Amino acid sequence: MKPKNLKKKIRRLEKRLQEGPKKLAKLKQRLQAAEAAKTAKAKKKAASKSPKPVEARKSGAVKKPKKKLNLSPERRAQLAAAMKARWAAKRAAEANAKGASGDNQHSAPPGPPPPPQNRPDGV
Q: What is the pLDDT tens value at each position of the chain, 123 positions in all?
A: 888 988 999 989 888 888 888 888 888 888 899 999 999 998 888 888 765 555 555 555 678 888 888 889 999 999 999 999 999 999 999 999 887 765 555 555 556 666 666 656 655
In a domain, 38, yes or no: yes
What is the tally of structural domains in the chain?
A: 1
Note whether residue 12 is domain-resident. Answer: yes
Please indicate, yes or no, if residue 88 is contained in any of the structural domains.
no
Q: State which amino acid sits at residue 122.
A: G
Domain span at residue 26?
1-43
Residue 100 included in any domain: no
pTM summary value? 0.31
Helix (H, G, I), strand (E, B), or coil: what is residue 69? coil
| b/e burial code for range 86-117 (CB count within 10 A of at least 16 → b) | eeeeeeeeeeeeeeeeeeeeeeeeeeeeeeee
Query: Residue 84 domain-assigned?
Result: no
In a domain, 56, yes or no: no
- Assigned domain for 20 exists: yes
Q: Which residues are CB-contacts of 71 (< 8 A; sequence separation ≥ 6)?
A: 79
